[in-house]
Amino acid sequence: MNHDHEYDLVVIGSGPAGEKGAAQAAYYGKKVALVERAEHLGGAGINTGTLPSKTLRETALYFSGLKQRGLYGIDYSLREGLTIGDLMHRKSIVIDREHKLIERNLDRHRIELIWGTASLADANTVHVELREGGTRHLTTHTVLIATGSSPYRPQSIPFDLESIYDSDEILTMARLPESMAVVGGGVVGSEYACVFTALGVHVTLIESKPRLLPFVDREIAGRLQSQLEKLGVRLRFSERVRQIQAENRRVQLTLESGDVVETEVALFAAGRVSRIEGLRLEPLGIQTAERGRVVVNEKFQTAVPNVYAAGDVVGFPGLAATSMEQARVAMVHAFDLEYKQRVSPILPFAIYTIPEISMVGMSEEDCAEKGIPYLVGRSYYERNPRGLIVGDETGMVKLVFSPPDKRLLGAHLVGEQASELVHIAAHVMAQDGTIDAFIDAVYNYPSLSDSYKYAAYDGLANLQAWRNRGTG
């Protein structure tokens, strides 16, 4: 430790980036303090976002019987009188256990936990307004800002009304409504539209773009859209909300087309904004961009060399898994640990809709836009024994590959366990592998993983046809 300072590292925020960054430095013997202003450890990922919404998804699937419908052909109905408390019970158990896991990790690495609100007095001093009263000034060699993000709340939306919610507040509803409008067809909006539809809520999804999830492979997103329509979701594309009226537990949304959508509640999923309020970044010369995003270099270093930032606070991709790796890379650079030098460029992405979507690498649209030659191989769960066993007849594995050398460029999945299966493709891509990797592999039978082999076989057939066209 530099004896001019009390700590080697002070971390602000205990979400995925903060916890893992603190642990990375402490593992190598650095003296670390972590400051958290919220009531609980874990940030939005554990307390309001990732884990709560995914736990609610599983609860919705359990209570609704959606997983069983394809298997048994039975239309289950929700248990009569089901309350939000019933739905949130499992969420509370999961979150409580995660809090304990973080506490144990901090204790194991001898990281000092300080409850309070932090700001930067200067590049080497973190001022903390302590929760129990009083203040502390923590002098430190390095600072890691990992304060995360919160829902973006446009001023035009009356979030003070009882029936208007953002994506953090929606899980605090006292009761399950009969109807809901979801404004925004991005990741959060699509996920919650699926969850509440599974719970029997009549959902209308309003999206300003002409389709769901525009960054997702069009064919995969189309399969999700078809499933949502089958479940009864009303989709309103290329529409914006022009006016909002809410009273007596009713919300009226007037669209630019002139149509009116009337529901009990409305969820506005307008993206996220970095939590930088009160940190006093500007006086230090730390640059920020749109929606408060902290500007960093490839090592997650700000314009002030000893101040780093990682996780949602630096913007895209805003994934918990990526946030952890960003923080580890930042701390390796800060303390010259010669360990993890970069975040892998192969980033799997999962969307926990019903059915799940997951992807890694380039889509067909990406290749076409960049002028990269490509071919596609597909396989379908309806032709996979495990897919039939679990009752998922909508699932699909799609491989995008380079025709000259069969190198895997991307993989796109929709269906049961898509968020798990995508890592098989990610590992092949990390090794700069080809679709032959799936041909050569042996997968359990019956398994959904075996879908990769048949997508690769389909790709080889398409490759042969491509070659025949070239020589014909």
Residue range 352-364, pLDDT digits in tens: 999 999 999 999 9
Domain count of the chain? 3
Domain boundary among 216, 241, 270: 270
- Those residues whose C-beta lies under 8 Å from the C-beta of residue 193, and which sit 6 or more positions away, are 182, 185, 203, 205, 228, 233, 353
Distance CA(361)–CA(359), nearest Å, equals 7
Q: Check: CB of residue 346 under 8 Å from CB of residue 429.
A: yes
Flag whether 186 is in a domain.
yes
Q: What is the pLDDT of residue 71?
A: 44
Task: Give the CATH number of the domain where residue 253 resides.
Answer: 3.50.50.60
Domain co-membership, 309 together with 399: no
* 283 in the same domain as 363: no
Length of the chain, please? 472
CB atoms within 10 A of CB 135: 10
Residue 84's CB: how many other CB atoms inside 10 A?
Answer: 16
Identify whether residues 147 and 204 lie together within a single domain: no
Q: Are residues 266 and 279 both part of a single domain?
A: no
Q: Are residues 263 and 291 in the same domain?
A: no
CA 297 – CA 307 distance, rounded (Å): 11
Residues 37-73 have pLDDT tens digits of: 998 998 887 887 777 788 888 877 877 766 544 544 4
Mean of pLDDT values over 306-319: 94
Confidence bin at 261 (pLDDT 50/70/90): very high
Predicted confidence (pLDDT) at residue 445 exceeds the cutoff of 70: yes
Same domain, residue pair 212 and 228: yes
CA separation for the pair 380, 382 (Å, rounded): 5
Q: Which of 223, 241, 270 is the last residue of a domain?
A: 270
Final residue in a domain of this structure, among 238, 270, 302: 270
347 located within any domain: no
- Amino acid of residue 81: G
Lowest mean pLDDT among 39-43, 61-65, 114-118, 229-233: 61-65
| Distance linking the first and last C-alpha atoms of the chain | 70
Tokens, residue 125:
């001093």
Q: Is residue 176 part of a domain?
A: yes
Whether residues 146 and 282 fall in one domain: yes
> Do 40 and 119 fall within a single domain?
yes
Residues 247 and 170 in one domain: yes
Q: Please give the pLDDT value at position 138.
A: 97
Half-sphere exposure at residue 373, Cβ-oriented, CA atoms within 13 angstroms: 9
Under 8 Å between Cβ of 350 and 356: yes
Nearest to 164 by CA among 150, 178, 176, 182: 182
- Are residues 135 and 219 located together in one domain of the fold? no
SS3 242: strand
pLDDT at 116 > cutoff 50? yes
Indicate whether 251 belongs to any domain. Answer: yes
Question: Are residues 247 and 308 located together in one domain of the fold?
Answer: no
Residues 409 and 472: their CA atoms lie apart, in Å, by 27
Q: Which run of H or of E encompasses 452?
A: helix 451-471
Question: Do 360 and 233 share a domain, yes or no?
Answer: no
Domain that holds residue 257: 164-270
Domain membership of residue 239 (yes or no) is: yes
Q: Which residue has the higher pLDDT, 249 or 127?
A: 127
Residue 342 is assigned to a structural domain of this protein:
no
Is residue 348 domain-resident? no
Band the pLDDT of 147: cuts 50, 70, 90.
very high
Within a domain: residue 122? yes
pTM above 0.75, yes or no: yes
